[in-house]
Amino acid sequence: MKSVRALYEGRVQGVGFRWTVKDLSRGFDVAGTVKNLPDGRVEVVAQGDETDDFLEEIRRSTLAGHIEQERLETIPRVQGLRGFLIVP
């Protein structure tokens, strides 16, 4: 199972980014979180068998026009992560 932390930069806050990511997650075998960061970026933590496909779907979605940069890093598996949550 793959676990990834993705950071998105651009006009990614105040445009429904987190809600769209959560909606997109429903089509994939992934669990994770999405949250706004104080510096204006959005962080997505995703893990599961379809993590790569899920991240590709974010890139192809209506969010693509808001993303100026995506930074990915593989992270250790997050224990107890179930579903996909918007974190305040």
Could you give the residue numbers annotated as active site? Answer: 18, 36
Which alpha helices (DSSP H) does 10-85 contain, by range?
17-25, 51-60
Model confidence over 39-59: pLDDT tens digits? Answer: 999 999 999 999 999 999 999
pLDDT for 45 = 98
- Predicted TM-score (pTM) of the model is 0.95
CATH code assigned to 2-77: 3.30.70.100
| Residue of 6, 60, 61 lying closest to 30 (CA atoms) | 6
